[in-house]
Structure 1
Amino acid sequence: MENFRTGLKSSISFYLLVCLMMLCSALIYAQDSYEKGPNSDVYEGIPQGKLSKHQWRSNIYSNTIRDYYLYVPSQYDPAIPTALMIFQDGHAYSDVEGQFRVPIVFDNLIAQGKMPVTIGLFINPGHSMDSIQVDSPWKASNRSLEYDTVSDTYGKFLLQEIIPELEKDYNISKDPRLRGIAGMSSGGICAFSAAWFYPNEFHRVMSHIGSFTDIRQGHNYPSMIRRQDYRNIKVFLQDGTKDLNNQYGDWWLGNLQMESALKYKGYDIKSEKGTGGHNGEHGGAILPESLAWLWSDVVPKRIEAGVYQFPLKLSDSIMASGETMHFSEMEFKTVQLPDGAARRLYSKDMEQILIIKDGEVQIKVNNKDKIIGKNSVMVLIPGDKGFIKSITPRSTYYTMIYKSKSKLDFKRAKKSGASTIIDFKDLNFKEHDKGGVRNYFHRSTAMCPYYEMHVTTLNPDIKSHEPHTHYATEIVLVINGQTEMEIGNQVISAQKGDFYFLPSNVPHAIRNIGSDQCEYFAFQWN
């Protein structure tokens, strides 16, 4: 009888190993092509975290050894409890030339304020120290046992062994809202299990091509979710229509069943559906947006990157408002003045910029009094009194009013020119091979240590530059023509009167997609 049991156990182990090798080999080959966006690239000026490699011998999974990798962001402050995100099959997620490139994406999203300062733990499955060495962590002897088993054991392993080891050197937050866990294939169901059995430890779950199938009873999760008490977890799922379909189940159907059950029970869930197979191409391509959604409820609510359209109703129409990286308050709107109408401009603690869109106006500020027209500008420092009056049948202007998160510095503002009126007619046009430029100012103000504005003329079918980043926040306001902008991983278009909002550290590049020259204001600040 004992020989029968031993033989049966050996057969099952071999059968599972063959299955796992099939799953792992499927990860290598792409069935559809998904391209990564600029947020998966490295940029000069973006703080870069450090990645280190370590090894662990487990007691809970006895006689096993595994490698793990630790990412510590440049912004880590040991005095502040720090968010933690754990990735199963860590070798794949931590590879900066692989399908996910998590350390690079973390660098970019942390710098953009799209996720909190987060330590990344990339942990491989365990391998028996009595087994022969394998050439890939995908084939580790303990992978299926650790990842596919529907139990609390793996979560216990993290909480009792790995996280305490990290806490010896790092200030890891104990707030479950600041803990996430992720994985692909069997690692995806593993991540869900850790949060399912320990929702007070892991709030955020990310699953790529998750194996919610009958490898080790994982197909039971949808019915468990429907029947059992609600857990306070937030779940992201990704899968493709060409995922695996074999004797263990249909991966695509399993993920649809998970989505349905989680929605039925009222969970905070987002599901991204593609057409790819059992690989990380789709999940890696959308990783920046996926992580931004997963962490969105613990980062400041700020004006989103994107295009803001010129309003149909012109009178005092707000185009965008809210917080930015550098401003606690900002409002960008259009104002229409009938012939002879006038407005007084003043704020004790907020700064203002006006850009004339159409018509002519009389501008007064301090001892300055000028008549200016289209594309002319005024900068009004807090405490200065201004006045604007339309002297044409109708005048329209844009205005941005804002308040810095930093203390006002009036000495800096006065040294740089205080309130200013700039007439478009007085500006020189500097031609270059892509078009030309008119420079308005490069200065500081009471609110901004750095403030710069210019108008660019761009020739047809020309890109201004490849995607780049800078710490300054930027607005690109289209004066004429048809334009297209890469912002992060988006590609969007804007026409005359619209503006692009480009938050700090977000990769961007603009292209003229029209048949004539286009013109746009570009102004940035920090």
Structure 2
Amino acid sequence: MKVIIAVLFMAPWLCVHAQTNELQSGVYSWGNSKDEKIGIVEKRQVLNGKTLDLQHFEIYTLTLRPGKTYIPLVTDENNEQLIVVKSGNIKLRLKDTAQTVSAGSIALVLAGDKISFQNQTATAATWYVINYKSVNPVNTQRGYGGGPSFIKNWDQLKVNISPKGESRSLFDRPTTMFERFEVHATALNPGYASHDPHTHRVEELILMLTGDVQETIAQNKFNAHEGDCIYLQSEILHGPKNISNKQCYYLAIQWHNLKTD
């Protein structure tokens, strides 16, 4: 799955740059950022700030050249990570598990665990790092009670087909940060909406894997493209629709801080 990044400019009241602390609902573009060389990887910041349920929320990509291995130097006891492979194939090593996975694959890294990356291919590999820390205390017993950190290979996920398109469930479980953390992938065929615009208490992140959508946010509509991140605040009206002439794919990510969510 090849991901092409596009730049989207939005009204200033709806979208903020990565340097702003308070994150607002909007489309955040990977293409606006410059590469920053950090050792053997190249980093691009997408967003960085805080939200209603997250005292820290950061998304960036790392790119690793062929034949290189990247081992993060710090293990964070207070943050979780969600890794999403953007392009290429990469070998992930997470505790006692190692898998070579393709674009769309994910890894959930619970607080205190460590992941490493090895590029054994002839082309560069890029992945998203989603760092987050809940406003609630870390709950190790709840998180590990829901299962260990894990890797999910996109190519091995069960596909459900409907007239609208396709869906893949990646996981739905408690973690060290949340009462419930849920990620699924949706494909929309041309002309279809995932659902009517609606609201809910939980915040949400839409990560565009391929194609384009038109996202309703409040009373406005904005185009989001491959590689873009759409952050949706609590209780804001929202809903995606594929208005292009080809299928699109995105990850929908929701975190539930309250048992009543």
TM bracket (short chain): 0.7 to 0.9
Task: Report SS of the residue matched to 1:496.
Answer: coil
> In 2, Cα distance between the equivalents of 1:503 and 1:333?
19
Q: Which residue in the other structure is 1:361 paired with?
A: 90
**CA drift at 1:344:** 2.1
Match of 2:31 among 311, 334, 347: 311
Task: Report SS of the residue matched to 2:250.
Answer: strand
Quote the RMSD (CA, aligned, Å).
Answer: 1.6
Deviations 1:51-101 (A, max 9, x none): xxxxxxxxxxxxxxxxxxxxxxxxxxxxxxxxxxxxxxxxxxxxxxxxxxx
Task: Report SS of the residue matched to 2:58.
Answer: strand
Match of 1:347 among 57, 76, 87: 76
8 A contact 1:340–1:390 mirrored in 2:
yes
8 A contact 1:340–1:389 mirrored in 2:
yes
Say whether 1:495 aligns with 2:225. Answer: yes
Amino acid in the other structure paired with 1:334: T
**CA drift at 1:472:** 1.6
Deviations 1:295-325 (A, max 9, x none): xxxxxx6211000112264531111110011
8 A contact 1:418–1:445 mirrored in 2:
no
Q: Which has the higher contact order (CA 8 A, sep 6+)?
A: 2
Task: Report SS of the residue matched to 1:311.
Answer: helix
> In 2, Cα distance between the equivalents of 1:347 and 1:424?
26
**CA drift at 1:417:** 1.5
- The 5-angstrom pairing of residues 265-414 of structure 1 reads 302-311=22-31, 313-314=34-35, 315-345=42-72, 346-392=75-121, 393-414=123-144
Q: Which residue in the other structure is 1:466 paired with?
A: 196
8 A contact 1:302–1:325 mirrored in 2:
no
Greater per-residue strand proportion: 2
Q: Which residue in the other structure is 1:507 paired with?
A: 237
Task: Report SS of the residue matched to 2:117.
Answer: strand
> In 2, Cα distance between the equivalents of 1:473 and 1:384?
25
Amino acid in the other structure paired with 2:183: M
> In 2, Cα distance between the equivalents of 1:417 and 1:343?
26
Percent identical across equivalent pairs?
Answer: 29
Deviations 1:321-366 (A, max 9, x none): 1001111011101111111222224212111111001111111111
8 A contact 1:378–1:421 mirrored in 2:
yes
Q: Which residue in the other structure is 2:18 paired with?
A: none
> In 1, Cα distance between the equivalents of 2:198 and 2:120?
41
> In 1, Cα distance between the equivalents of 2:182 and 2:253?
5
**CA drift at 1:374:** 0.7
8 A contact 2:30–2:45 mirrored in 1:
no
Deviations 1:176-216 (A, max 9, x none): xxxxxxxxxxxxxxxxxxxxxxxxxxxxxxxxxxxxxxxxx
Task: Report SS of the residue matched to 2:30.
Answer: coil
Task: Report SS of the residue matched to 1:446.
Answer: coil
8 A contact 1:365–1:419 mirrored in 2:
yes
**CA drift at 1:389:** 1.4
The runs of at least 4 consecutive aligned structure 1 residues that moved more than 4 Å come to none
Amino acid in the other structure paired with 1:343: Y
> In 2, Cα distance between the equivalents of 1:412 and 1:463?
35
> In 2, Cα distance between the equivalents of 1:369 and 1:453?
21
- The 5-angstrom pairing of residues 111-510 of structure 1 reads 302-311=22-31, 313-314=34-35, 315-345=42-72, 346-392=75-121, 393-510=123-240
8 A contact 2:184–2:252 mirrored in 1:
yes
Deviations 1:225-282 (A, max 9, x none): xxxxxxxxxxxxxxxxxxxxxxxxxxxxxxxxxxxxxxxxxxxxxxxxxxxxxxxxxx
Structure index of larger Rg: 1
Count, aligned residues? 228
> In 1, Cα distance between the equivalents of 2:236 and 2:119?
38
Task: Report SS of the residue matched to 1:316.
Answer: strand
**CA drift at 1:385:** 1.8
